[in-house]
Amino acid sequence: MEKIAPSRVRFGGFELNLQTGELRSQHGDGGNGLILREQPFRVLKLLLERPGKMVSRDEMRKTLWPNDTIVNFDHSINVAIGILRRALSDSADKPRYIETLARRGYRLLVEVEVLQSAALPQLPRLQIAQDLPPRDEIIGKKVSHYRVLEAIGVGGMGVVYSAEDLRLGRRVALKFLPPAVANDETTLLRFEREAQTASTLNHPNICTVYEVEEQDAQPFIVMELLDGVSLSHELDQSVSHSLSATRIIEIALQVCDGLQAAHTKGIIHRDIKPANIFLTTSGPIKILDFGLAKLIDQEDVVGVPALPASIENTEGGRLSGSASKAIHTSITVAGSKIGTASYMSPEQIRGAPLDPATDIFSLGLVLYEAAAGRRAFEGEDATLVHNAILSQTPLAPRRVNPSVPRQLDAVIAKALEKDRKRRYSSALEMRRALEQVRADSTLKPSRRQLSILAASVLALVGTGTALYRRAHPRIVLSPNDTVVLATANETRDPVFDDALYSTLYFGLQQTPYVHVMQTVKLQEAMAEMHIANDAKITPEIGRQVCVRTNSRMVIEASIANEGNNFRIEMKGLDCKSGAILAAVEEGVPSRTQITHEAGQLLAELRGKLGEPPDSVNAYNKPLDIALSASPEALQLLMEGYRGILALDIPAALSDLNRAIAVDPNLAMAYTALAGMEDKIGLHSLAVEAAKKAFTLRDRVTQPVQFQIDNVYYQAATGDQEKNLSVLAKWVQLYPDDFIAHTNYGISLLTVGRLDQALSEARESVRVFPSPWSYDSLAYVYIVTNRFEEAAATIAEAERLNFDNPDLRNQKFILAFLTKNEPGMQEQSSWAVGKPHIDHRFLFAEAMVQGYYGRFADETRLTNSSIEMADKGGDSATTAKYGDLLALDRAEIGDEAVARKLAAKYSIMVQNANTLPILALAFARAGEPAKAQKIMDELDLETPLDTIVQHYYLPTIRASIMICNHDPKGAIDALRSTSPYELAAPESFNGIYPAYIRGLAYLQTGQGHLASLEFQKLIDNPGLTGRDVTAALAHLQVARAETMEGNPAAAQKSYETFFALWKSADASLPIFQQAKIEYAHLHAKA
């Protein structure tokens, strides 16, 4: 219909005066009506102009607030619609007038009739005391010593105008309460509180409040006039609704600065969101709207407590006269929620007391949105959003937007921890983490992001791709954009099956421009197509896998006899059409030159597919040197890899050693051998193989060099700092390398950097969902005490039909930690009769018995585990089980038995992973000389090993000093363990340094400090697990509290310990002593 001219309109049972905003009912009630306020009036006019058609929320926003400044659009539109529905006696559920079109807009359901312009009878007004003039009437007027110039925005807490300060000649912003809520006491109090709190904050990243004035008994705030746009506007204007990592960090650093300033003064914002972050044209980022701020540590109750003197009402720039009053510290009734639904912290939603951590969480949500281009938690209404915030873990931003650096992912993930104790402790700490991300080179565009190969392939397969390339200049290869390798051996020599495939695989692996499908993922796709997993990957099978996995293309290589010579051909094929994208071929005079010529052909093919020449040259090691010129050696290498995947350890070790016998310079065989030998406890052999591989590292491709360095620093030297440096570079250059992420996560766990380890474990799942990656992620969730997330990860693995002994082990541990005895029994039953697996689960059961003080059962089950492991030839595991049993006996005060056990197992094969346990067992059993001897041996053999030098040896040394009654020396010895307190190495872990430090503090009579140390074990059950010290920590806390003179707390701690040991063996020395102590404490009470 035509746009309605200023007049009267009738719709349904109502008439509206389009000039005055008077709305009256036509249902015979005497014509009683009301005056619609500005926003509801303008919204209704929009709907009346287009009856039966949708008016989008965006149209409403642009009409009501053409200048996007200081406004919560969603909230204001919702309020306006709510006012209209009440005025029309309408319902959102069963609308008769205004229908909600979910997440899009609104529609008027009735017809509109334009009436004549005759004046309506004067209707009685609603009583509104001391209303400000409507917005258009105040413009141009003088208010106090300010001349109002124009309306620039509306916020949930006020109407904002630009104005001129007639005294100082400067431009300012004036913020008034909207007339519709000007008399609402709660709103007035919030408005006054914003003025009070914001005026105390003088910081470049907080919008400055100059003063507070009154006009006609109504307060208004005079504040800094900002030129720019809100972050919400910036995101809306972005095509992807996201910002670059550099821009995100630039904004976040300044917001952190502003929040730190507020938090330092005891003020939390409580409503951090994109609309309250303002990007000025001059550069500084400003935090807006402290209307929901509160003072930390004051009660969330309705009341009028006195404020600190620094923000009490005063004359000159503060509220005065009739508006002068104390301000509620929390204007909302206790338990109610304040903030914006999508940006609330879990504690806000629950109505819990708040601290600065709530702003950290909200900022994390803002950064997530800016990085991912969508909100972290979404839902049709506030209830669904709140449920998501409380119970769901959002996808990592990097999984939504692969250009997000992993380090920024980790910062956001930590800010979004549901447990506030796991978030950054302050905005300053978060700022430092962001500075580290900014300093990291990963913020530079990686080769993965600049994949010209992918772009060139697109250009070859269709005419419509030119537009695609302009819109998406960076094509990012992901696991769904991989290449599938296929080979065809047309000779009669089967050795070329593996030789050709390995040449193709490792040759392409070295370039960051191509992601080769992992072998396991390839086999999974073949299984889904009912193709045997040992079938040769022919070009036809390769194309089928490529289509099924939505991969980018097939790269095919074939070899054929050509007289007495050979001919090699290579092609890049489009998966769906089979079209040849590029092809190369070459004759080869002899079999010893096949690997070399294949490498040269592959480099030529990469160039034809669009990889830049400088990249081809940089990542083009001659494959006869990087791999082997011997097809037979390559065949044995591939057989060894297949043995590893099948967990056939003897066969894998045999094939790898045979490959080395054929080609003593096959570096990849040495590093695979070192990794396997280290895993099964053959440490000396692993060190030898790792060192040999390291001497050959300059021959190999870049990814293999990273792997060699990783194994060398992990198995040979133990230098974790160098190892972490290698791994960080590896994942940076090859961000889709599953092995890189997995090994990086393991090393981070080893040194106790749990947040980073979690980030890498998540990346492993993203890059290659598999039993191994899900096992790693579940394990990290467990050690970081995130049991619900661990359970969800395991459940997801089950849905994907992933299963292996390690995943089963995580299920067992999780069942123990959540007191699920049937769950533990299920996993133990599964392991029965499975060689090399059954003894692991039986020993896990033994540890559970020890935790609960049932040491007769622990001993019986451990002996059975040792017998099984010994029959399987696993001597290192046999020694480890025995050493751990000896250590447990020492911890419960059964020193004589502990010494016998330690002596018994000391003559067995020990290695670098078992010797620290044995030494600690001797030290705790009262044989310091034997412990010192092993310590000296470890110190001599592993001078560069980070964990040995800074975790194992200090803990053993401190235990010896406690044995020698030198607790102060023990405390000093443990200082170097502090950075590695939460480490999870192979030998003893379970936060053992803290336990020993606690014992030392008990010896010095410092009960409070002792209690803090033992509490670390109690607070981290995922790390301490089934260790007997985890249970004993409760007893040690009780002793510390008794020492502190806190008998009530001590009694409770004793009772907690006794509850754990309710079925413990009565004869245990430490148990008998605990009962005596408790009885003495009870008698004194």
For the chain, where do the domains classified as CATH 1.25.40.10 start and end?
631-734, 990-1085
Between 450 and 342, residue with greater pLDDT:
342
Convert the pLDDT of each residue in 172-192 to its tens digit: 998 887 655 555 666 666 666
pLDDT > 70: what percent of the chain? 82
- Residue 294: predicted pLDDT: 55
For the chain, where do the domains classified as CATH 3.40.50.10070 start and end?
452-627
The CB density around residue 473, as the number of other CB atoms within 10 Å, is 10
Q: Which of 271, 737, 1027, 1065 is catalytic?
A: 271
For the chain, where do the domains classified as CATH 1.10.510.10 start and end?
227-300+335-441
Under DSSP, the state recorded for 712 is I
Single out the residue of 98, 113, 106, 90 nearest to residue 16, CA to CA. Answer: 113
Secondary structure of residue 327 in the 3-state scheme: coil
Q: What is the mean pLDDT of residues 924-944?
A: 94
Pick the CATH number of 631-734 from 1.25.40.10, 2.40.40.20, 3.40.50.1820, 3.55.30.10: 1.25.40.10
CATH superfamily of 131-225: Phosphorylase Kinase; domain 1 (3.30.200.20)
The CB density around residue 995, as the number of other CB atoms within 10 Å, is 23
Lowest mean pLDDT among 238-247, 589-598, 748-757: 238-247
Question: In this structure, are strands 98-101 and 54-56 parallel, antiparallel, or unpaired?
Answer: unpaired
- Report yes or no: 439 and 364 within 8 Å, Cβ to Cβ: no
Q: What is the mean pLDDT of residues 119-127?
A: 31
Convert the pLDDT of each residue in 79-102 to its tens digit: 778 788 888 888 887 888 998 886
- What's the whole-number average pLDDT of the chain? 81
Convert the pLDDT of each residue in 624-669 to its tens digit: 998 999 999 998 998 888 888 776 777 888 889 999 999 999 999 9
- Residue 918: predicted pLDDT: 96
Burial class of 352 by CB neighbour count within 10 A (0 to 12, 13 to 18, 19+)? middle
- What CATH architecture applies to the domain 990-1085? Alpha Horseshoe (1.25)
Backbone angles phi, psi at 48, to 5 degrees: -65, -30
- Residue 477: predicted pLDDT: 30
Rounded to the nearest 10 degrees, the angle between the axes of helix 667-679 and helix 683-695 is 160
Convert the pLDDT of each residue in 792-809 to its tens digit: 999 999 998 888 899 999
CATH topology of domain 452-627: Rossmann fold (3.40.50)
Convert the pLDDT of each residue in 866-922 to its tens digit: 998 888 777 778 889 999 999 999 999 999 999 999 999 888 877 888 999 999 999
The DSSP result for 499-550, as a single string, is HHHHHHHHHHHT-TT--BPPHHHHHHHHHHTT--TTS---HHHHHHHHHHTT
Token pair 């056990």 is found at 901
Single out the residue of 428, 271, 420, 294 nearest to residue 357, CA to CA. Answer: 420
Convert the pLDDT of each residue in 344-401 to its tens digit: 999 999 989 999 999 999 999 999 999 998 899 988 778 888 999 998 888 888 878 8
Please tell me whether 904 is known to bind a ligand.
no
The pLDDT of residue 319 is above 60: no
- Residue 128: predicted pLDDT: 28
Backbone angles phi, psi at 271, to 5 degrees: -145, 45
Cβ contacts of 236 within 8 Å, gap of 6 or more: none
Res. 103 pLDDT band, cuts 50 70 90 = low
The pLDDT of residue 431 is above 50: yes
Q: What is the mean pLDDT of residues 239-259?
A: 88
For the chain, where do the domains classified as CATH 3.30.200.20 start and end?
131-225
- Residue 475: predicted pLDDT: 26
Res. 23 pLDDT band, cuts 50 70 90 = confident
- Report yes or no: 171 and 162 within 8 Å, Cβ to Cβ: yes
Under DSSP, the state recorded for 979 is G
Res. 33 pLDDT band, cuts 50 70 90 = low
C-alpha span between 362 and 340 (Å, rounded): 10
Task: Determine whether 870 is an active site residue.
Answer: no
Res. 300 pLDDT band, cuts 50 70 90 = very low
The CB density around residue 625, as the number of other CB atoms within 10 Å, is 18
Q: What is the mean pLDDT of residues 118-125?
A: 32
- Residue 130: predicted pLDDT: 32
pLDDT > 90: what percent of the chain? 42
Single out the residue of 249, 300, 242 nearest to residue 270, CA to CA. Answer: 300
Secondary structure of residue 588 in the 3-state scheme: strand
Q: What is the mean pLDDT of residues 817-840?
A: 91
- Dihedral angle, C-alpha 451, 452, 456, 459, nearest 10 °: 80
Res. 208 pLDDT band, cuts 50 70 90 = confident
346-351, long-range: CB < 8 A, 24+ apart: 346/389, 346/390, 346/418, 346/420, 347/420, 348/270, 349/386, 349/389, 349/390, 350/390, 351/300
- Residue 39: predicted pLDDT: 72
Convert the pLDDT of each residue in 529-559 to its tens digit: 888 766 778 888 888 888 888 787 889 999 9
- Residue 597: predicted pLDDT: 92
CATH number given to 8-115: 1.10.10.10
Convert the pLDDT of each residue in 1024-1059 to its tens digit: 989 999 999 999 999 999 999 999 999 999 999 999
The pLDDT of residue 567 is above 50: yes
The pLDDT of residue 719 is above 60: yes
- Residue 1009: predicted pLDDT: 96
Convert the pLDDT of each residue in 954-1011 to its tens digit: 999 999 999 999 999 999 999 999 999 999 988 888 899 999 999 999 999 999 999 9
- Residue 122: predicted pLDDT: 33
Under DSSP, the state recorded for 206 is B
C-alpha span between 204 and 208 (Å, rounded): 8
pTM: 0.57
- Residue 308: predicted pLDDT: 27
Convert the pLDDT of each residue in 160-169 to its tens digit: 888 998 888 8
Q: What is the mean pLDDT of residues 919-936?
A: 96
Single out the residue of 856, 880, 855, 884 nearest to residue 869, CA to CA. Answer: 880
CATH superfamily of 227-300+335-441: Transferase(Phosphotransferase) domain 1 (1.10.510.10)
